[in-house]
Amino acid sequence: MKVRYERTAFYYETDQMAIIHHANYIRWLEEARIFAMQQVGIDYAAMEKEGVQIPVLGVECTYRSMVRFGDTVNIDAWVEEYDGVRLVIGYTITDKKTGELRSTARSRHCFLAAASGRPISLKRRLPAMHERFLRFLEPEQGEG
């Protein structure tokens, strides 16, 4: 299931070339990921209260075309892979007006026990959250 997050580019996010600095895309991915999780009933703060953290293990971002100050983009986020211990989120960033592809990305995560910093199984630790991630992983009706 894809969740759409809308983001308008701010002036302070631009660089000397008057385009959005590449590092800001990574921030946008995090905004979109947290928003998407909220939309499917996964409360990040509640997970942390239960002692579960979801650190970023890696991020890949391919820049296809430039975003400039004032542009509004749609960031679609979805779960590509999930096994209860590891999680991969996919993203596309497109121009809201034209639909032009601006960027594609992926972020890799795992689930850790906050107290020990060791990997855990979300299925065992928080079964209700595990079920929500499984629903997030399900394709939308009509998709492959």
| pTM for the full predicted model | 0.92
pLDDT at 48 over 60: yes
Judge whether 6 and 141 are in contact, CB under 8 Å.
no
For 112, the token pair is 């850790």
The residues annotated as belonging to the active site are 15
pLDDT band at 85 (very low <50, low <70, confident <90, very high): very high
- Please report the domains of the chain, with CATH numbers, ordered by start residue: 3-137 (3.10.129.10)
Judge whether 108 and 88 are in contact, CB under 8 Å.
yes
